Chain A
């Protein structure tokens, strides 16, 4: 158990270290001078303003110092929560720009990931023993997993937003409203949230259902199932054991899929112009706001790591073998 968590923490620590290092290295070792290009993009004509910007960026990047010093400074700033200043929304610090977007992204990702996992597993488990359901779940599941997230989002927006007009197709809330905690505003939020949520939920659903179906079939054909049925155990009991065994790889799968799910949320947000991290990244790229881009990158990595850690804890709770300290080898 301690070994298991020790290993996991080591991997997470290393991952974070690598991510931060990559983030630090890219502007410094990629071809081109980031400071010059940023000043050029800002479209300032006054020479003294250009000079001021150049000095500002140079000190922001800390490019006047030796490399190792820059690297240490980068970590220091990070620990203080300092991601630099956004270029797109000029004097606002990157951290506050990100913080304004994070609640929207979380509100989309957390329910869609959890619900699609739970519902997908249930569907898959049912499909494994009903021929009729199997013949529908399987093809639909394959089509859903093969769909690019943004395409399903576009189709939903077109069908339910443009043709039927049931849901709005853009934004996190109506333009006429200001964010507050009143009932009409919350309903408006929910109204805007439905379609992006639905598209994320549906694409992820197919994969979980197929995975669970395959695992259950595999478990029902295994020795312990045959042995139980030879002993005359009720099939309900056998199915319950099969489900418990089949759900373990699905938990690992959830950890592995997190990165993909986050990526899906980002492009879905772009389709619906939803005011989360995805739309922020799009704006950062369009405005060449590299500080914002770097900040969101680190934030996403941190989020995925924390989510992975939670899944690891859940895994220990669900799998007795991990508690016994046997799973040290399968990190």
Chain B
């Protein structure tokens, strides 16, 4: 994904102050997080400010955007803006659940494989590679189709369970380089166990890296969820941006010229994921002095 340099251990407080200094001056980071924040607030506050049932059929079908219906209405008279605002919520939820679970599994596998090495590493590496090669969407398809329980949480769970391998691989490589440093040796000599060394010595030294991994996993989860929704394996209750796209496609919004039905949800997904990627580049520059332009 992103080119990542090795992390050098330094005084944590000083690093934090310096990072903050460069963070607020980094245009990419601020713009990226700004866009995500605006959409997040819209998703969180929207349903509170505009209560109503997003899937309820209305009296005026197929109207273009107007003062009454900001994003127009669907062929069934549903308010597209309401669907959009509620859909944002499930998109963020899937990103947090899917990205979070994948990040946790990726960290555990990556840390253990990288720190322990030897046969443990061989076994975990083999597992990672096997799951890496299987096309995720195909597995999710058959699991979702059989299971039939489709809520945002379950969807996020399965996405998280299948998305961790590349994160595990990247974290393993980083751990590998940290394992032989003096401060880790020191901790080992003072009798600390594996879990403690990983949690106290290794993880804090790559916290910025872990955060960036989570951001990429978040974006990936959002994209996978939208594909699943589009195929018709989305949540059966409620709305999501992917489901809006599916409905628009299924009820020929294209041929009928209802562009306001399929433009907003796709644009929001693109904006969220794109802004996260750009913010990630910004973060990279903040944490890595070599990449700073000024």
Contact = CB atoms under 8 A, between A and B. Distances in A.
Q: B133, B139, B249 — which one has the most chain A CB atoms within 10 A of its CB?
A: B133
B132 A146 contact: no
A326 interface: no
Interface in A156-210: 157-158, 161-162, 169
Given A143-B270, A146-B274, A262-B135, A331 B125 contact: yes
Q: Which of B233, B249, B267 has the most CB of A within 10 A?
A: B249
Interface in B188-247: 219, 223-224, 226-227, 230-233, 242, 245
Given A263-B137, A267-B230, A285-B141, 10 more contacts: A26-B142, A31-B147, A146-B271, A148-B269, A150-B226, A154-B254, A155-B266, A169-B254, A214-B2, A296-B138
Interface stretch (A8-16, A46-54, A82-90, A115-123): A8-16
A321 to B, nearest CB: 17
Contact of A218 (B3, B259, B274): B3
Nearest to B267: A151
A12 B265 CA distance: 38
A108 interface: no
B257 interface: yes
B145 interface: yes
A137 interface: no
Interface centre among B227, B233, B276 (most CB of A within 10 A): B227
Contacts of A262: 135, 137-138
A15 B265 CA distance: 36
B126 interface: yes
Contacts of B8: none
A150 B227 contact: yes
Contacts of B278: 142
A15 B226 CA distance: 26
Contact of A151 (B147, B269, B275): B269
B134 A301 contact: yes
A262 B141 CA distance: 13
B137 A148 contact: no
A23 interface: yes
Contacts of A30: 146-147
Given A32-B148, A169-B254, A281-B231, A308 B133 contact: yes
Interface in B95-132: 125-126, 129-130, 132
B126 A11 contact: yes
Interface in A278-310: 281-282, 284-286, 288, 290, 293-294, 296-297, 300-301, 304-305, 308
Contacts of B143: 26
Interface residues of A, number: 62
B95 to A, nearest CB: 13
Given A282-B231, A300-B138, A270 B130 contact: no
A105 interface: no
Contacts of A304: 133-135
B145 A293 contact: yes
B80 interface: no
A184 B132 CA distance: 42
A305 B133 contact: yes
Given A143-B270, A271-B249, A266 B134 contact: no
Interface of A: 10-12, 14-15, 18-19, 22-23, 26-27, 30-32, 34, 142-143, 145-151, 154-155, 157-158, 161-162, 169, 214-215, 218, 256, 258-260, 262-264, 266-267, 270-271, 281-282, 284-286, 288, 290, 293-294, 296-297, 300-301, 304-305, 308, 331
Contact of B232 (A10, A27, A285, A301): A285
Name the prevailing secondary structure of the A interface residues.
helix
B180 interface: no
Interface of B is mostly: helix
B22 interface: no
B255 interface: yes
B134 A267 contact: no
Nearest to A300: B138
A19 B134 contact: yes
B120 to A, nearest CB: 15
B137 A266 contact: yes
A320 B142 CA distance: 41
Contacts of B147: 30-31
Contacts of B125: 331
B164 interface: no
B142 A294 contact: yes
Nearest to A213: B3
A260 B137 CA distance: 8
B262 interface: yes
Interface in B46-98: none
Contacts of B230: 148, 150, 267, 270
30 contacts: A19-B134, A26-B142, A34-B146, A142-B278, A148-B227, A148-B242, A148-B245, A148-B269, A149-B227, A150-B245, A150-B249, A151-B226, A151-B267, A151-B270, A154-B245, A154-B254, A154-B262, A157-B254, A259-B136, A262-B135, A262-B137, A267-B230, A281-B231, A284-B145, A285-B145, A285-B231, A296-B138, A300-B135, A305-B133, A331-B129
Given A142-B278, A146-B219, A151 B266 contact: yes
Given A169-B254, A263-B227, A285-B145, A143 B249 contact: no
